[in-house]
Each structure stands twice: as C-alpha cells, then as structure tokens.
A and B are shown apart, each in its own frame.
Chain A
Amino acid sequence: MSITVNGKTIEHIKKETISDLLKRMHYTFPLIIVKINGKLIKKKDYNETVILDKSEVKVIHLISGG
C-alpha cells in the first residue's frame, strides 16, 4: 500500500484526497501543479479527487519570489 510523490515512496492512505495529501506533505506553496499518473488535475477538483493505491503523484512547485 504505497504511492509515490515526486519520486519518493510514501504510505498510501485510504480515501485520501489531493487536498489531504497536500496537507500531509505540508505543501502550502500556492503555485503548484498536480498530476496523478501523468494526468493533470485541476485545482477545483483537489477536494474531490481521491488518490488510489500505487498512484504516481507529481506535485510540481513552480517558482516565485526573488
């Protein structure tokens, strides 16, 4: 029971949504892109999209500041 997030393997949690995962990872940066198994997930769907076991998740942080 595991998923990968940006290439790192972590535990899979049942019924975890993208929003939950972002919280678990402390990903608070506002400019991010989420892909599950290569498919882009829109921001408005973060609350509803549940991450299935063995998913390959990418949370791509863009750049800002400086």
Chain B
Amino acid sequence: MTEEQKITVTIDGKEVSVDKDTTILSAANSIDIFIPTLCHSELVEPYSACRLCLVEIDNGRKKRLVTSCNYPIRKPITVKTKSERVKKHRKNILEMMLARWPNVKIIKDMAAFHGIKTPRYTSPLQDPQENACVLCGLCVRACEEDIWESALNFANRGPEREVMMGYGENIPQCEGCETCMSICPTHAIDMDKEDPNNPFDADLMRKAGMKLTREMVLLDDSQCRMRKVGTAHLTEIMDEYDLLPVQNYRFGSHTETKNIASDVFLKNYLTQGKPDGCWQGCTMACAKTADAFTLKTGPYKGDQVVVDGPEYETVGGCANMGIFDPEFVLEFNFYCDTYGLDTISTSTGMSFYMEMFEYGILNKERCGGLDLQFGNSDAALTFMHRMAAGDKDEFIQVASKGIRRVKDWLIKKGWGDKQIIEDCGMESKGLEYSEYVTKESLAQQGGYGMTLKGPQHDEAWLIFMDMVNNQIPTFQDKAEALHYFPMWRTWFGLNGLCKLPWNDVEPENNAETDEPAKVPGHVQNYVDYQNGMTGGNVDKEGLILQSERAYNWQRAMNVWMGRGTRNDDWIPYRSMGPVTKKEYESRKDRYDTQFVEQLGFTKQEVEKMSIEEKIQKLYEYRQNRYQKLMDAVYYRRGWTPNGIPTPQKMKQLGFSDKKMLSMLQKKIDQDQEKGLNSWGGIYGDDEQPPTDKDQYWLEW
C-alpha cells in the first residue's frame, strides 16, 4: 500500500493513518479507543442495527452523528467518540434498550458503564428474560454470510419483529452448526438441549469452532482458498514445484496443466460451494459441486448430472494419465463416484497400465482391444465402463483388482522385464499411490512406505519440509518427523475428525510460534475439542500418546497376521528415483548435481558416465538411502530392525496383554535366528546406524 492511499484521521485528538475505506470503528480500535457495539462482528458485514457505536464526525464543513461500524473513511476527518452529543444519544439508546430488556446481561453492563442503573420509564415491549433476543441480527447474518445457509430470518415488523427459522419450523437448510448460537451476545439461541452428544463442556468446543470460523472467513481467501475451490487449489502449485504426477509419475509438471487448474473449474463448472454434509455446518466447506454437467459416455450418456468435486487428487490422477481436459476430469469423477471406485486408485492404476502399454508389455490385444495410450481419455472411460459392467476380458478382470495383481499377472505371463514392471507399478501394501511425485523427497517416500495403511493421500505431508525447505536433513530428523506426523494423522482417524481444519488454514500468528509446521494454535483446538467432549484433561503430548498406542497395536496385529515387517514397508523404485532415461533427462541437472554433492563424484566423472550407468548408480544409492531411513524410523518408533514393535516399547505404552507380548517376542526370536535383527542400510566409514548395540531394545 503506498502512502497516497493512506488517509490520516484524528480520533479523540489522536492521529492515525489508515487505508481508504477502513471503518471508523476499526481505525479507533487500532489505536485502543473503545467504542461500544452490540450488532457488530468482524465475521459479518456491518448492519447498523443497534446504533450504539455512534460517533460524531467533522469534515471541516459540518458535524454529524454516524454509526462507526459501517462508516468508511474516505477523507481526512475528525472523529469524537465521547462528545456530549454522542454521550447523550448513546445514553438514550441504552436507556431504551434497558427498559425493553432489563435483565439481559450485556445490556445491563453497558448501561451501567454509561451511568444508567434503572431506566426512567417502563417499556410496553418489555421482555424480562435474561436471554431475550435484542434483535442485533448477528445470527441471521452469520448464517447467511459465513455458513452460506440463510436458515434464519427476521419475521414481522416493528414491535413484533423476531428472529425465526423458516415459518417457525426447523428447516432442512439448518446445518445445526451452532454458529448462530455462538455469535449471539445474549444466549437467546440455545441448541444444547437438543444436543444428543451431550458434551461435557460445550462452550470450550464452541470456542474452538468459532476460532476456526473466524479464520476461515477472514483468512482463507489469502491462504488456501478452501471455500472457493477446495483442495483443487493444489493442482497448479504442485505443477509449479514439479510434484504433479504426469504419465505415471515419470514427470512432475506439464505445459497443459493450466487447462485443469482450479480456476478453470471455478469459472466454468462449479455451481455450488457448499459443504456436502461430511460435517454439518463446516465453514471450511471444501466440497464443491458442478451442477447440470452433461455426460458424454457410459450408461448415463446425454444425461445432465450433478458432479461432486473434483478434489486435488482427482485432478492430479487425470494428469497422471496424461489427460488435461476438465470435462474428462468431471466425467471421470462422476463415474468413479457412481461405480464406487476411488479416483486415486483408479487413475494411478490406469497410469501404470498406460505406461506398460507404451513399452509394449501391454498392447491392444492383451488388454481387450483398448488403446491404452497416455492421454487417451476415451479408452480410460471405456475401461471403467467395461470394468463396472463386469466385462469378462482377462485384462479387465485382473486390472479391476488393482496394480499389485496386474504386476503379478504380467510377470507370470512373461510379457516384460520383471524389474521394470516392479519399479513402475506404483503401489505399496497393495494400495495405489496418491498423486504426489515423491522421487526427490526421501522423507515423503518414508511417509508413504512406512505407514500401516499404505501410500494414502493423507500421509503426503513431508514433501515440502524435506524437499523444498531442506528442514529435516538428517536421517534422525526425518525419523522424528516420521514419528510425529503419522501419529498426529492417526489421531484424526481415531477421533473421526477431519484434518483440514488443522493446517489448510492457519492462524494469523502461526509464523511466530515455536513450531509453525505443527500449527500449535490448531493442535490446541483439538485438545480443547477432546476435553470439551469427554471432560478429560489431555494435553497435546497426550493426543500423540493415544495414537502411538493405537498405531503400535495395529502394527502388532499386522505382525500377528504375518505382515508388518521390513519387506512390507518397501516401495517401488519409481517413487524413489528415475527408472527410465527420459525421466533422468527431465531432471538431469538435479541428478547430476546430486552425484557431485552427495555421491562424491567429480563433475568430469559425471560427464563421462552414460545415462544408463548413472541410473544404475542412483538406483543403488537411493535404495540404500531408503534402507537407512527405515533403520532410523524403526529405531525411533521402538521397533526392531525388521519393523516389529518390541514388547519393551509395548509395555512402555501401557500394554500388558500377555498373548500379544509373547507373540511379538516369538517373532523377534525367530527373526534373531534368521539374522533379521540387524540394520538394513549399508553404512560408509563416516556414517553410523542408529545404534551398534545388538538387540538394543533389551535395555529399554
């Protein structure tokens, strides 16, 4: 903002320079001058219902009274907030209010502050209730402007005026979000009586909710635009950072990404920005809707339908198939939803089949006549329709079960090189990868690989911290992050809460906190939420402990089922580094630099090596790095080098179940015999594994 656009005003003799159109009220507040208000809130547009915020302004020609909450400063003016005229009017208003609502606390307090104890007259409209409605209109505006519902309205005129829902009945638009109740200054709205959850301290929870609502209303537009476009805002960002998966994760960006960027959907397709009911009354409202979209293929061809979404992962998945057509994105989104398919698994699967098609490992004949080239949107949709129709073609049958089965099938058929098939099929633990290119972030590889549920999208957090910020450089740093963040993530799942209000909006002062990446202010929201709900007294460490218990128990269950070992945490090489020459070339500078900076080669040596040689060297280096990361993470989590939770750790977490503890001990003993209790990484002279003690857990 340049100086010209600033305007200097004088309020009660103090000068303050403000941006044009700032209200007198906020200018005054900014220099600690207090003006009483009743119907004002920064969460809603000013309405000037109460007139308590009156001030006297002087523009040099004439003096007049205005309501400060909605008076925009456009010229240098002089403002008096406590002139005799102001005081007289304000007193009159308060006296009237007190006569009408003699027992409402906020009115009584304000009146007393202005020297009125009892009004000089009685009002014919007197409402003696302590929680009488004072007609400030905050609830009506909050519902309309913040929740986008308009479930409340003023009914009737004059003395009969009252706030009403519909025609006095509960109407379906009401989300039950309680925003109206939280914003009401007199507690006139009470929904707690009807609250079936019977929380211990509803106020504590409501405060957390209002904190979030406030941030969403005031900050979201300049942060993640969740209310406008939802998670799809990430499409163009991921492209910019070379992280958007293109053609089965071979590349990280594409010139056509602009065609499927979030604004394209916002401008041309999205018709509703309302929450879809995953959490009633959520102000984040990340779900979007495209109404009246005409389908071009499949059983509903020609029909106009409502499409939910698209979310980032869906758009990213389309880029992964090499398709940059917004109408395909919507059609794909619709049919995935309709067929009960996950957009991530479907698109990642198809991207792999398309790559195999490109290499001739699959061809038209082998995949039921489909021309599965990257970018062929017709083939992609036909594949889905045939899969949904239960088509008996062998490929369609196998492919409908996902990448892991297709890998085994291709290898069994002997149609291609085993290694290339294994390296390119982006799944781990049988789950398809979500839509982020993890190649250049070791921590993110670990985030996807060393998690119980597989490479699912809500584990995609460390990529920036690691790759862009260079914030967690050592194996130990990464292991610490791979302890905290997955545990925190688990906590949301355990409590059935959404993770987005944690870090898809951030408090204004987040940057100034001790650990901004963890968004401490919002962690506190969840602490308050749980305590408010249960009456417990947990703190932020306590939340992590809850998760650690569940997480370790689940890991132990996996072990019990014959899984949950180091092998199960392995990931395909495509997620660790470049598999093909084209891929290497697309990031040649980055890789060549890594040879010099990390692998200790000279520039000349790098120049002399062939690409094949470089790919092979990187292959060994990066796989070993992943092994070392596993070592560090398992150690941090209290597991053996084979990834088994140790009975010692389980006991620390409070488990005493004998059957479980002895099962784990037995497994560890078996591993000892097989030599599996030693570190997997190969360490150089100047490096060390997390510890060199054999069976280190015995000391815990």
Residues of A near any B CB (own CB < 8 A): 6-8, 26-31, 33, 40, 42, 58-66
Minimal Cβ-Cβ distance residue in B for A64:
B504
Known: A31-B224, A65-B231, A66-B458. A8 touches B470 (CB 8 A): yes
Q: Is the CB of B517 within 8 A of A28?
A: no
Please, which residues of chain A bring their CB within 8 A of the CB of B459? 66
Minimal Cβ-Cβ distance residue in B for A8:
B470
Known: A28-B236, A28-B237, A40-B512. A63 touches B464 (CB 8 A): yes
B516 CB–A CB distance under 8 Å: yes
Q: Is the CB of B506 within 8 A of A62?
A: yes
Mask of B539-564 contacts with A, CB within 8 angstroms, 1/0: 00000000000000000000000000
Please, which residues of chain B bring their CB within 8 A of the CB of A40? 511-512
Please, which residues of chain B bring their CB within 8 A of the CB of A7? 470, 473
In whole angstroms, what is the CA distance A59 to B465 when docked? 10
The smallest C-beta distance from A40 to any residue of chain B, in angstroms, reads: 6
In whole angstroms, what is the CA distance A40 to B512 when docked? 8
In whole angstroms, what is the CA distance A30 to B237 when docked? 9
Known: A59-B469, A61-B465, A65-B234. A28 touches B516 (CB 8 A): no
Known: A28-B236, A31-B506, A33-B511. A61 touches B222 (CB 8 A): no
Please, which residues of chain A bring their CB within 8 A of the CB of B223? 30-31
B519 CB–A CB distance under 8 Å: yes
Known: A28-B236, A29-B241, A31-B223. A63 touches B503 (CB 8 A): yes
12 contacts between A and B (CB under 8 A): A6-B468, A8-B470, A26-B240, A27-B468, A40-B511, A40-B512, A59-B469, A60-B469, A60-B517, A61-B464, A62-B506, A66-B434
Minimal Cβ-Cβ distance residue in A for B238:
A65
Q: Is the CB of A62 within 8 A of B458?
A: no
B residues 7-54 in Cβ contact with A at 8 Å: none
Please, which residues of chain B bring their CB within 8 A of the CB of A26? 240-241
Q: Is the CB of A62 within 8 A of B240?
A: no
Minimal Cβ-Cβ distance residue in B for A41:
B511
B667 CB–A CB distance under 8 Å: no
Known: A26-B241, A31-B506. A61 touches B499 (CB 8 A): no
In whole angstroms, what is the CA distance A62 to B510 when docked? 10
Q: Interface size of B by Cβ–Cβ distance < 8 Å?
A: 34
The smallest C-beta distance from A4 to any residue of chain B, in angstroms, reads: 10
Please, which residues of chain A bring their CB within 8 A of the CB of B241? 26, 29
Please, which residues of chain B bring their CB within 8 A of the CB of A64? 224, 234, 503-504
Select which of A6, A59, A60 is within 8 A of B516 by beta carbon: A60
The smallest C-beta distance from A5 to any residue of chain B, in angstroms, reads: 9
Minimal Cβ-Cβ distance residue in B for A66:
B458
B312 CB–A CB distance under 8 Å: yes
Please, which residues of chain A bring their CB within 8 A of the CB of B147? none
Please, which residues of chain B bring their CB within 8 A of the CB of A59? 468-469
The smallest C-beta distance from A38 to any residue of chain B, in angstroms, reads: 13
In the complex, the 10 A-B pairs of residues with the closest C-beta atoms, listed nearest first: A61-B464, A66-B458, A33-B511, A7-B470, A6-B470, A64-B504, A63-B461, A66-B460, A28-B240, A65-B234
Please, which residues of chain B bring their CB within 8 A of the CB of A60? 469, 471, 516-517
B residues 211-240 in Cβ contact with A at 8 Å: 222-224, 231, 234, 236-237, 240
Please report whether the interface of chain B is mostly helix, strand, loop or mixed according to DSSP. helix
Q: Is the CB of A29 within 8 A of B464?
A: yes
In whole angstroms, what is the CA distance A30 to B231 when docked? 13
Select which of A8, A30, A63 is within 8 A of B517 by beta carbon: A63
Please, which residues of chain B bring their CB within 8 A of the CB of A65? 231, 234, 312, 457, 460, 504
Please, which residues of chain A bring their CB within 8 A of the CB of B469? 6, 58-61
Please, which residues of chain A bring their CB within 8 A of the CB of B237? 28-29
The smallest C-beta distance from A19 to any residue of chain B, in angstroms, reads: 14
Please, which residues of chain A bring their CB within 8 A of the CB of B510? 33, 62
B residues 455-492 in Cβ contact with A at 8 Å: 457-462, 464-465, 468-471, 473
Q: Is the CB of B236 within 8 A of A62?
A: no
In whole angstroms, what is the CA distance A61 to B467 when docked? 10
Point out which of B434, B469, B512, B519 has the most chain A C-beta atoms below 10 A from its C-beta.
B469
Please, which residues of chain B bring their CB within 8 A of the CB of A27? 468
User: Contacts A29-B464, A64-B503 given; 12 further ones with Cβ under 8 A?
Assistant: A27-B468, A33-B510, A33-B511, A40-B512, A61-B468, A61-B469, A62-B464, A62-B519, A63-B517, A65-B312, A66-B458, A66-B499
In whole angstroms, what is the CA distance A61 to B460 when docked? 14
In whole angstroms, what is the CA distance A26 to B242 when docked? 10
Q: Is the CB of A66 within 8 A of B461?
A: yes
Q: Is the CB of A62 within 8 A of B503?
A: yes
The smallest C-beta distance from A49 to any residue of chain B, in angstroms, reads: 14
In whole angstroms, what is the CA distance A26 to B223 when docked? 17
Mask of B233-268 contacts with A, CB within 8 angstroms, 1/0: 010110011000000000000000000000000000
Please, which residues of chain A bring their CB within 8 A of the CB of B460? 65-66
Please, which residues of chain B bring their CB within 8 A of the CB of A8? 470
Please, which residues of chain A bring their CB within 8 A of the CB of B465? 61, 63
Minimal Cβ-Cβ distance residue in B for A26:
B240
Please, which residues of chain B bring their CB within 8 A of the CB of A31? 223-224, 503, 506
The smallest C-beta distance from B594 to any residue of chain A, in angstroms, reads: 12
In whole angstroms, what is the CA distance A59 to B241 when docked? 14
In whole angstroms, what is the CA distance A40 to B458 when docked? 29
Please, which residues of chain A bring their CB within 8 A of the CB of B231? 65
Point out which of A6, A40, A42, A62 has the most chain B C-beta atoms below 10 A from its C-beta.
A62
Known: A30-B224, A31-B223, A40-B511. A62 touches B468 (CB 8 A): no
Please, which residues of chain A bring their CB within 8 A of the CB of B511? 33, 40, 42
Known: A29-B464, A31-B223, A33-B511. A62 touches B517 (CB 8 A): yes
